[in-house]
Amino acid sequence: DADVTQTPRNRITKTGKRIMLECSQTKGHDRMYWYRQDPGLGLRLIYYSFDVKDINKGEISDGYSVSRQAQAKFSLSLESAIPNQTALYFCATSVGQGHGYTFGSGTRLTVV
């Protein structure tokens, strides 16, 4: 099993629908992150969490919300999806200062 698991892998949804992307990890890391990746724009941080009670906005949090249900689970929600939220979404974990991230396999989301 993968260390960082994202579900679903692919999703097509309609404008205005609420959608949740899920991330779970078995690495035991406290720090979890949600990024989106768009061609030409790179990886941009949406939200991050350092423990269950510590959730922080990233550079592009508008239109998104998150929930840290447990140390191992961090979900991203689009309250009312719009087409410009079509992107590849990655969850990542880290053990902390001075360490890199481990990424999940990604969720390709298309909003039509």
Partner 1 sequence: QKEVEQNSGPLSVPEGAIASLNCTYSDRGSQSFFWYRQYSGKSPELIMSIYSNGDKEDGRFTAQLNKASQYVSLLIRDSQPSDSATYLCAVPNSGGSNYKLTFGKGTLLTVNP
Residues found near partner 1 in the complex (CB under 8 A): 31, 33, 35, 40-43, 45, 48, 50, 56, 58-59, 88, 90, 94, 96-106, 108
Checking phi first, is residue 90 left (phi over 0); if not, alpha (psi -120 to 50) or beta? beta
| Minimum CB distance to partner 1, residue 17 (Å) | 24
CB of 74 to partner 1, least distance (A): 14
Residue 104, both tokens: 């999940």
DSSP state of 40: T
Report the residue count for the chain.
112
Nearer of residues 38 and 79 to partner 1, judged by Cβ? 38
